[in-house]
Structure 1
Amino acid sequence: MRLPGKARFLAAALVPVLALAACASGPSDSGGGDGPVKLTVWSWDDTVAKAVPGFEAANPDIKVEVVNAGSSYDEYTALDNAIQAGSGVPDVAMFEYFAVPYFAIPGKLEDLGGHGADKLKADYVEAAWNDVTVDGKVFALPSDYGPSVMFYNEESFKKAGITQPPATWDEYYADAKKIRALGGEHYIAQDTGDLFFLLSLIWQAGGRPFKVDGNKVHIDFTEPATTRAVAFWQKMLDEGLLNTKVTAWSDDWNRTLNDGSLASQIMGGWLKSSLPQRAPQAAGDFRVALMPQWQPGAKVGAENGGSAFGIPAASGHKDAAYKFLEYFTHGGGLSSRVEAGAFVPNKSVLESADTQSKADEYFGGQKTGPVLAEASEIVAGGWQYPPFFEWARSVYGDLVSQLYSTGKGSLAAILEQWKQRMIAYGNEQGFQVD
C-alpha cells in the first residue's frame, strides 16, 4: 500500500549480525508456567487485526497484540532504534517491499526459509515473491500488492471522443491531447513528481536502473529502456498535457476525481478500495484497465506499492511469530483480510471464482477482479531497489519539486543528480555503490 506524504528517513548504522544475535535472546516460544506466548505485531494495515480472533481461537497458547506504529517511516525508525537498544523489538513487523533489503542485508530480519516459507512460493505472483527475496533467501511474506493499472473515468473519456482506454502509450499521448482540448482543468492525469509512477513507467519499459548484489549497488539511468520511458513522460510535461498543480491525496485531487476533470490515474491496484470514498460523486463512471503498453499487443506490467511482513532477528518468539505470519498472509486469516479490503498477491485469491466473477457496483458493474489479477500476473521480473531507498526517495522529492514548481530543467537531469546523491550516501553507509 502506498502511503501519502514525504518520508524523512535518517538511516541508522548497519547493525552487525553478531550484535543482533546477542540482543535476540528472549523468552522461548513455549508459554510454560508464564502463560501464553505474547506476540507484538507492528502494522499500519488495519486488516491484520481482523485475523487475530481466528488465530487465537485456533492457538490458545498464543496471544497477539497488533500495534499501529505510525507511518512506514515512523515504524522503520522505531524498529532500528529498538534493535540497537536491544529491547522493545516487535515479533512481526510490516515493510514496504523496497524496505525489505535495508533490514535483510545486515541481518536484521529472520531468514524465513528455516520455517518452511519456501513451500509457499507457488501461491504468490512471481514479482511479489521477488520483492521479499534477497540473495536467494526469503525474509518476509507478501501481504498486499499494487500492480500498476489505469483507473479511468469512462464518461470523461466519452466527452473527449475516446471510446476505449488507450492500449499503447502512443494512444495515451493522443488521448491526452483530446482530453486537454476540453479546456479548463481537464487533463488525462496529474503529476507533481510521483517517483513511484515514474519508476513503474521505467519498470514496464524494461529499464532496470538498480542492480543489487549483497552490499554492491549499481545505479544507471542511461539504459535505452529507461531513457525511452523518461523521455516520454518529459514530452507529456513539456506539452502541458498533465495537471502539475494538483497533488495526489489532496482535497483538490478528490475534487477533480469527483467532477471528472481528472480523467484517469495510473496507480497501484490498491487504489480500488479507497477511490469510492475519495470520489463518491463519480460512482458508476470509473473503470479499470491494464497500463498502456510500449508495443502493440504486448502485455507487460509493473508495480506501484505493496507491503510484506517479516520477523525481526531480535524477536524472542520466532516460531510463534511465523505461525501467525503465515496465518494472516496465507492461511486461515487471509479471507478475513480480503473481505476487509486487502488486495493480496496470492494466486489462490486472484484466481478464485469470487475474484473473477464479482461485479463492482462503483465501477459501473465491471468485473474488476480479472483485470487486477492479470495486472498482478504480468508484472515484469528482475526489478530491484537499493537497500537505502527509503532515504533516497525523500531526496528525490526535494530534487524534483523544483522542476515541477518552476518548469525548468528535465527529469533526466534530476535522475542524474539523484544518482550522484545516492552514490555518495550509499558509500558513506558502508555499501559499494557506483
Structure 2
Amino acid sequence: MRLRTKARLAPVALVAAAALAACSTGGGTPDDAADGEVGGKITVWSWDGTIERAVDGFEDAHPGVEVDVVNAGSSFDQYQALDNAIQAGSGVPDLVMMEYFAIPYFAIPGKLADLTPFGADELEDDFVASAWNHVSVDDGVYALPSDFGPAVMFWNQDVFAQAGITQAPTTWDEYYEAAKAIRGLGPDHYIAQDSNDLFFLLSLIWQAGGRPFQVDGTTVSIDFTDAGTAKAVAFWQKMIDEDLVNTEIAAWSDDWNRALNDGSLASQNMGGWLTSTLPERAPDAAGAYRVAPMPQWEAGQQVGAENGGSAFGIPEAAGNKATAYAFLEYVTHGDGLDPRVEAGAFVPSTRVLESDEFRATENPYFGGQRTGEVLADVAATTATGWQYPPFFEWARSIYEDIASPLYSSGQGTLADVLETWKTRMVEYGNEQGFEVD
C-alpha cells in the first residue's frame, strides 16, 4: 500500500552489520535463529490491519506463542521509531512492516536480517516477480512481500460514454484523445487529476521502460534521461500543458472524493488497492466504475507497473527471529493469507492470484466486474528491474517542494523538476557515504 508523508528520515549513516550486532537484544546470528524453536512472544509492528486477522490461527497452531501486533506509526514514523530502537539497543520489534522502497535503507547497512538461512530464497516462485525483486538486495532476501499495488486505471464508464467513449483506452494515444473528449463535457471535467503525484509519475516511467535508479550495494546511479523515462515524462508534460488533467485537486482530499463521486474526474490511475476504498470515497458512483489495465505505449502490449506495496522484515537486533519468521511465512505465504484476503488485502501471492475463487469473484460496486482477475493479470505482467535508492524515503520527502512551482503556477517542466531532484539526491547520497552519480 502507498502512504503519503512529508516527513524526513534522519541521515542514513552507513553502519556495518557487525557494529549493529552490539545493539542486539539477543537474537544471535541468522544461522542460530534459523535453527531456533518456535515459541515465546513476538512483537509485530504493522499499520496493515489485516495482519491481526491472522494472529488467532497462528497462535492456535503454535500453543504457547503470543503475537502482539502494534501500530507504531505509518511509513516514516515507524521507520524513525525503528531506527531509534536499534540505536538505543532496546524495544526492537521482532517483525516490522515497511514499504518496498524502504527495504534497501534498512538492509544495506545491516539493520535487517538476511532471511536466506530460513529458506526464504526457496519461496521466490510463490510471489509475483516484481514484488520479489523488491525484497532481494544483492545476494540476500531481507523481507517477504505482504501487499502489492499493480498500477491500473479506475474509469467511470458512464462519464466516458457521455464523451462518446464506450471502451477503456488501451493505449496512451487513445487516452490522450479521450482526455480531450472529456474536457469537452464542461469546464470542471477532466480525465484525471495530478497535483504532484510522484508515485504515479514513477509508475508511468516504469511502464515505459525507464529505469532511472540503479543500485549496486552502496553505489547508486540516477539518470532521468534514458529513453523510457524521457518518453513518459514528455507525454505527461503534454497532458499538463494542454490542461487535460486537473492539477488543482489534491488526491485524498475532500475535493478529490467529491470529484470522483460526481464524475467530474472521470478516471484515476492508481494502485489496485484503491479497489477497497473507492466505494467509500465515491458511493454515488456505484455501478459506474470499472477497473482496467493502464493504457499501453504500443498497441497489443501487456506491460504493467507498480504503484505502492509493502513487505515484512526481521530486524537484525530482533530477539525472537525463529518465531518471527514462522509468523512472517504464515501471513505472507501460508494459511494466514486467507483471512487477510477476506479482509481486503491485495497480496502478491501467486497461489491467491491464480486461484479461481479470487479471479472469479464479482465485485458489486464495479457493476459485477471480476476486478480480481484484472488486478491479478496486471500484477503478473508488472515489469521487473525497477530499483529504489537506499535513501528514497528522504528523496520523496523533498520532491513535493521541488515540483510545487510547476503544478501551482506552471513554472518549469517535469524534466526540470527531475533534474533538480536528481541533483539534490546526488548531494545527499554522497554526504551519507554512498557513491552516487
- The structure 1 residue matched to 2:50, chosen from 44, 47, 52, is 47
Q: Counterpart of 1:408 in structure 2: which amino acid? A: Q
- The structure 2 residue matched to 1:92, chosen from 83, 90, 95, is 95
Distance in structure 1 (CA, Å) of the matches to 2:286 and 2:51: 28
Query: Which position in structure 1 is the counterpart of 2:6?
Result: 6
Question: Are the aligned partners of 1:4 and 1:249 in contact in 2 as well (CA < 8 Å)?
Answer: no
Question: Are the aligned partners of 1:90 and 1:312 in contact in 2 as well (CA < 8 Å)?
Answer: yes
Q: Counterpart of 2:143 in structure 1: which amino acid? A: A
Distance in structure 1 (CA, Å) of the matches to 2:53 and 2:276: 17
Pairwise CA distance, 1:80: 0.6
Distance in structure 1 (CA, Å) of the matches to 2:27 and 2:247: 54
Question: Are the aligned partners of 2:108 and 2:217 in contact in 1 as well (CA < 8 Å)?
Answer: yes
Question: Aligned with 1:343: secondary structure?
Answer: coil
Pairwise CA distance, 1:385: 0.3
The answer to whether the aligner puts 1:255 opposite 2:258 as a matched pair is yes
Question: Aligned with 2:44: secondary structure?
Answer: strand
Distance in structure 1 (CA, Å) of the matches to 2:152 and 2:12: 35
- The structure 1 residue matched to 2:166, chosen from 160, 163, 166, is 163
Query: Which position in structure 2 is the counterpart of 1:18?
Result: 18
Pairwise CA distance, 1:12: 4.3
Query: Which position in structure 2 is the counterpart of 1:211?
Result: 214
Distance in structure 1 (CA, Å) of the matches to 2:271 and 2:142: 23
Pairwise CA distance, 1:8: 2.5
The answer to whether the aligner puts 1:428 opposite 2:435 as a matched pair is no
Distance in structure 1 (CA, Å) of the matches to 2:203 and 2:39: 45
Pairwise CA distance, 1:104: 0.4
Question: Aligned with 1:243: secondary structure?
Answer: coil
Structure 1 unaligned regions, length at least 5: none
Pairwise CA distance, 1:217: 0.1
1:120-131 mapped onto 2 (5 Å cutoff): 120-131=123-134
Pairwise CA distance, 1:355: 1.1
- The structure 2 residue matched to 1:235, chosen from 223, 235, 238, is 238
Question: Aligned with 1:383: secondary structure?
Answer: coil
Q: Counterpart of 2:104 in structure 1: which amino acid? A: P
Distance in structure 1 (CA, Å) of the matches to 2:7 and 2:185: 36
- The structure 2 residue matched to 1:144, chosen from 143, 147, 157, is 147
Query: Which position in structure 2 is the counterpart of 1:66?
Result: 69
Distance in structure 2 (CA, Å) of the matches to 1:358 and 1:337: 16
Pairwise CA distance, 1:10: 2.6
- The structure 2 residue matched to 1:83, chosen from 72, 86, 94, is 86
Q: How many residues are matched?
A: 430
Pairwise CA distance, 1:221: 0.4
Distance in structure 2 (CA, Å) of the matches to 1:331 and 1:4: 30
Pairwise CA distance, 1:128: 0.5
Q: TM-score, normalised by structure 1?
A: 0.97
Query: Which position in structure 2 is the counterpart of 1:387?
Result: 390
1:1-38 alpha-carbon deviations (Å, 9 max, x no partner): 011343332334233211211222427899xxxx9611
Runs of 4+ in 1 over 6 A off after TM superposition: 27-30
Distance in structure 2 (CA, Å) of the matches to 1:191 and 1:7: 21
The answer to whether the aligner puts 1:348 opposite 2:351 as a matched pair is yes
1:265-285 alpha-carbon deviations (Å, 9 max, x no partner): 000111101111111111100
Q: Counterpart of 2:362 in structure 1: which amino acid? A: A
Distance in structure 2 (CA, Å) of the matches to 1:11 and 1:94: 20
Query: Which position in structure 1 is the counterpart of 2:301?
Result: 298
Question: Are the aligned partners of 1:15 and 1:84 in contact in 2 as well (CA < 8 Å)?
Answer: no
Distance in structure 2 (CA, Å) of the matches to 1:13 and 1:134: 18
1:193-228 alpha-carbon deviations (Å, 9 max, x no partner): 100000000000001000000000000001111111
What is the CA RMSD across the aligned residues, in angstroms?
1.4
Q: Counterpart of 1:60 in structure 2: which amino acid? A: P
Distance in structure 1 (CA, Å) of the matches to 2:344 and 2:123: 22
Pairwise CA distance, 1:62: 1.5
Distance in structure 2 (CA, Å) of the matches to 1:163 and 1:325: 44
Q: Counterpart of 2:40 in structure 1: which amino acid? A: V
Pairwise CA distance, 1:92: 0.2
Question: Are the aligned partners of 2:39 and 2:62 in contact in 1 as well (CA < 8 Å)?
Answer: no
Distance in structure 2 (CA, Å) of the matches to 1:11 and 1:267: 30
Distance in structure 2 (CA, Å) of the matches to 1:392 and 1:142: 23
Distance in structure 1 (CA, Å) of the matches to 2:311 and 2:351: 17
- The structure 2 residue matched to 1:406, chosen from 405, 409, 430, is 409
Pairwise CA distance, 1:353: 1.0
Query: Which position in structure 2 is the counterpart of 1:190?
Result: 193
Q: Counterpart of 2:10 in structure 1: which amino acid? A: L
Distance in structure 2 (CA, Å) of the matches to 1:391 and 1:238: 29
Pairwise CA distance, 1:61: 2.7
1:289-331 alpha-carbon deviations (Å, 9 max, x no partner): 0010001100001000000000000001111100010011111
The answer to whether the aligner puts 1:108 opposite 2:111 as a matched pair is yes
Query: Which position in structure 2 is the counterpart of 1:365?
Result: 368
Question: Are the aligned partners of 1:142 and 1:309 in contact in 2 as well (CA < 8 Å)?
Answer: yes
Distance in structure 2 (CA, Å) of the matches to 1:37 and 1:313: 18
- The structure 1 residue matched to 2:175, chosen from 162, 172, 177, is 172
